[in-house]
Structures are given as structure tokens and as C-alpha cells.
């Protein structure tokens, strides 16, 4: 039963990812500005919490000062993303997302390869290889990176969504 719930949840997440991907592609400028702002606000909040935590931690606990430095760095980066130059923020964000796309796809290939061998597994692996290819292409074309960032992210969401919907049909050899 738990396995069935996980499969249904995976399918629903896949639909949501695909829909978000289409929305991103349809509204690239708004999506980029929104994404940069959300990440900036998140980093500001996360940094503030880390600084507060570092103040509350007793002095004898190791890593207290590192937590403070981490919090301050997060707040600086968050402030730059939320209130700084959108062009620079989009370039930095572009590379962060490209690395995330590549790593996520490698993890998915490893996971699917470990649980199944068959047509659906091969289809999932092909989708992830396409995503890695898009990521590497953008990574080594910096001028292109900011221009196609949102489209690549939108397609990555769509591919990840399709992969999530397809994965429920993959028979598992062993989990």
C-alpha cells in the first residue's frame, strides 16, 4: 500500500513539475525575476536564522563561528539576489541551476539503473541524458547561459515531470 501511495505521489509530483515547466517557458522574464527574488528572500531568512542560531549556541560548541560566517554570507548573497542587479543575479543563478540539473540527472540515472532494467528504465535514462546534455551545453556557452536559462529550466522541469510520471510504471527488481 505504501508503495502504491509513493507511486501516486510521484505521478502527481510529475504532473506539477511538467505544468510548472510549461508556465516557466510561457513566461520567461517573469519566471526569472520571480525565481531570483524567491531565492534571495529564502537566503536572507536562512542566513538570519543561522546568525541567530550561532548567537544562541554556547561558546564551547565547535563550529559556532562558522555558523555565524555562513549566516552572514547567506544574508549577503540573499540581499544581492533580492535587491541587487538582476543581470548578475541571473548569471550566478544560471550556473547554480545548471550544476543542479546535471547532478540531479546523474542521481536519477543511478537510481533508475539500480532498480530496474527495461524499456521504461531506458526511456527514463534517455530523458536524463538529454537533460545532462542541455546542462553541459549551457555550462560551456556562457553567453548563451543567461539567454536560455529559463527555457532550459522549463524543459528540465518538464522532463523531470515526465520522468516522475513514467517511473511509476517501471517494475522494480528490488527496492
3 confidence band (pLDDT: 50, 70, 90): confident
Q: How far is CA 6 from CA 14, 81, 85, 163, in A?
A: 12, 35, 41, 14
Give me the residue spans of the domains in the chain: 2-167
Q: How many CB atoms lie within 10 A of CB 105?
A: 24
pLDDT of the residue at 145: 64
Alpha carbons 49 and 95: distance in angstroms, whole number: 26
Residue 174 has pLDDT above 60, yes or no: no
List phi, psi (to 5°) of 60.
-80, -10
Can you state the angle between helices 142-167 and 2-26, rounded to 10 degrees?
150
pLDDT of the residue at 132: 92
Residue 129 has pLDDT above 90, yes or no: yes
Q: Model-level pTM greater than 0.85?
A: no
pLDDT of the residue at 1: 45
As a whole number, the mean pLDDT across the chain is 81
Amino acid at each position: 500500500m505504501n508503495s502504491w501511495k509513493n507511486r501516486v505521489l510521484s505521478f502527481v509530483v510529475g504532473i506539477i513539475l511538467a505544468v510548472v515547466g510549461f508556465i516557466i517557458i510561457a513566461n520567461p522574464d517573469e519566471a526569472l525575476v520571480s525565481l531570483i527574488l524567491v531565492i534571495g528572500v529564502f537566503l536572507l531568512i536562512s542566513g538570519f536564522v543561522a546568525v541567530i542560531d550561532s548567537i544562541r549556541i554556547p561558546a564551547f560548541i565547535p563550529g559556532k563561528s562558522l555558523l555565524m560566517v555562513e549566516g552572514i554570507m547567506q544574508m549577503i548573497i540573499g540581499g544581492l539576489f533580492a535587491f541587487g542587479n538582476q543581470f548578475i543575479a541571473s548569471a550566478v543563478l544560471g550556473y547554480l541551476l545548471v550544476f543542479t540539473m546535471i547532478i540531479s540527472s546523474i542521481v536519477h540515472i543511478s537510481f533508475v539503473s539500480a532498480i530496474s532494467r527495461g524499456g521504461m528504465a531506458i526511456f527514463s535514462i534517455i530523458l536524463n541524458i538529454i537533460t545532462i546534455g542541455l546542462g553541459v551545453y549551457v555550462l560551456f556557452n556562457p553567453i548563451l547561459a543567461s539567454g536560455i536559462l529559463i527555457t532550459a529550466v522549463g524543459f528540465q522541469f518538464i522532463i523531470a515531470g515526465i520522468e516522475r510520471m513514467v517511473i511509476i510504471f517501471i517494475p522494480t527488481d528490488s527496492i
